Amino acid sequence: MLKGVGVSPGISIGKAFLLDRRKIKVEKFTIAGDMVEEEVARFMDALQKSREQLLQVKEKLTHDLGDQGHAHIVDVHILILEDEMLVNEAINIVREERVNAEWALRKVLTRFANIFDQIEDPYMKERKSDIEHVGQRILHNLVGEKMRSLDGFEEDVIVVAHDLSPADTAQMHRGRVIGFATDLGARTSHTAIMARSLEIPAVVGLENICTFVKTGDPIIIDGTDGVVIVKPTPEEFRDYLEKQRRFKYVIQELLKYTDQPAETLDGYKIEIMANIEFLDDIPHVLSRGAEGIGLYRTEFFYMNSPKLPTEEDHFRVYKRLAEQVSPRQATIRTLDLGGDKIESKLHVMDEPNPVLGLRAIRFSLKHSDLFRLQLRAILRASAYGKLRIMYPMISGIEELQQANLILAEVKDELSSEGIYFDEDIPVGVMIEIPSASITADLLAKEADFFSIGTNDLIQYSIAIDRGNEHVAYLYEPLHPAVLRLIKRTVEAGHSEGIPVGMCGEMAGDPLSTLILLGLELDEFSMNTASIPIIKQIVRSVRLEQATELAYKAMSFSTAKEIEEFVLREMSSKFPEFF
């Protein structure tokens, strides 16, 4: 039995297909001066072949399968192929050092990887894998090796690989791939996000599963517990068949109640919302019981474009969002990137520690022209549905006031131009820095809602990088400090009469549901797969039961004590989920 990270729940039982995605071994060759331009041409030809291959994958998704949403992820890889820094730097190395294109490309990829290794934000850190996937595709084309496609299987298979690119995962759509397991990966990788969206059970981070498995081996994937069993015993096979049957039954039962409110037995109602990145996910999340969009990330919008998006680019997307979610509510988070991610478009300076530097609302206030453009588009789109604006990484009242001042000026501009918009559009603050939680009483006086971003709040509170293997064990959502900050934020918000939600991963973790309910959060926003389970847990208890559990949990001194207590309680109350 191998233990990894379960990134997409469910159980798959079948035969393994070992996908050989070993890295191309690159050696350095010196080339003659008169061969340099020929080598550059060979590199450009490999780029063109890679582009054509990705366009074929996109064509299959959009036309054959009608999947526009995941085609956007393939667009990201196409844009990486066209990135001027990557292309020009590789060509410059070929010309200046007179080396082969494979070596030049590997040198550039290594430099990019080192830059991403310095990033603490786990979501952004995982973008390194996108660049590596694109690099491997180019290298395969440079050496003339064809990459195995993941469609065209004649029977169901469970794919085992060192790593998978989003393009690989996209080809699994509606195919014969019923699960996958990889050596590498994390919850925030594109591949993991796609697996959850496609509802394919998946386990990643297994380190060396490729060395244990051969094509045709019987294998079990438990994406809920992060377990993989290769060549199961007859007893393990029977146990997991039964576990798979129970899982499918529970999901089927949960889906019967997707249109029911998330309301406790004694009538305390909370809003269950979804976090999305692609508009094409909206029908699916609503069918799973989401009552709106609690977090629409706009970072992809910037990273998917070779140039900065225009106001019309923003407006078209936000208008579609408003119309498709209407009459429900959708929350748009303003840009949550730093200049280091779009420096090639802005020519900004590198920062030694960008995660604590000019990013999110700080970046927007510094580059107010970009911020105004995004706010104008959101306000214009607010005429077509119920939108909310949410500022990320607010650290104190001055930033909130500056952002609101710019918003007021933009509103005046639109009014003077005779453009209609929702003048009372709610404006919220993401609480993801301890200083924001500690001053939540001040922020609440000038905000319409709070949304707690636990991913960053936990990291900043405990001062750990969960992507750092040496301290990852310290990433404890149930740490007493974290629970106290959440409680403080809720109390501050409610004292000023504003709702307090949560859009971090903790909101979609069933283990935390009763604690968060007991602390009286008003809204949980999460990934699609968690919605039915979280809603069912809320509907199964009285508020006073959750309150009692939450305050008992907060009486313990350590995260371990709290987790053990909560796990015992939840296992007792909901044995079908734990």
CB 227 within 8 A of CB 203: yes
Phi, psi (rounded to 5 degrees) for 71: -65, -30
Tell me the DSSP string of 89-109. Answer: HHHHHHHHH-B-HHHHHHHHH
**Nearest by Cα to 65 from 198, 174, 186:** 174
Cis-peptide into 327, omega within 30 deg: yes
70, 140, 190, 367: which one is catalytic?
A: 190
Q: How is residue 238 written in tokens?
A: 């029977």
**Nearest by Cα to 361 from 418, 389, 403:** 403
Q: 377-409 burial string, b = 16+ CB within 10 Å, else e?
A: bbbbbbebbbbbbbbbbbbebebbebbeebbee
Question: What is the crossing angle of helices 234-255 and 531-539, to 10°?
Answer: 70
Contacts of 128 (CB under 8 A, 6+ apart): 112, 113, 116, 117
> Is 190 among the catalytic positions?
yes
- Report CA-CA distances (Å) from 456 to 120, 129, 420, 559: 10, 21, 36, 17
| C-alpha span between 293 and 98 (Å, rounded) | 53
CB 190 within 8 A of CB 49: no
Q: How is residue 508 written in tokens?
A: 């979609």
| Residue whose pair of structure tokens reads 């070779």 in the numeric block | 306
Helix, strand, coil % over all residues of the chain, rounded to 5: 55, 15, 30
CB 335 within 8 A of CB 364: yes
Q: How many residues comprise the chain?
A: 578
CB 485 within 8 A of CB 434: yes
Task: Tell me the residue type at 529.
Answer: A
311-316 LR contacts (CB < 8 Å, sep 24+): 311/373, 311/376, 311/377, 312/377, 314/373, 314/374, 314/376, 314/377, 314/378, 315/376, 315/377, 315/380, 315/381
> Is 503 among the catalytic positions?
yes
Alpha helices in 473-555 (DSSP H): 480-495, 513-518, 531-539, 543-553
- Report CA-CA distances (Å) from 290 to 126, 261, 329: 27, 10, 11
Alpha helices in 382-512 (DSSP H): 397-416, 434-438, 440-443, 454-462, 480-495
**Nearest by Cα to 432 from 461, 456, 414:** 456
| C-alpha span between 309 and 325 (Å, rounded) | 23
Contacts of 144 (CB under 8 A, 6+ apart): none
Catalytic residue list? 190, 503
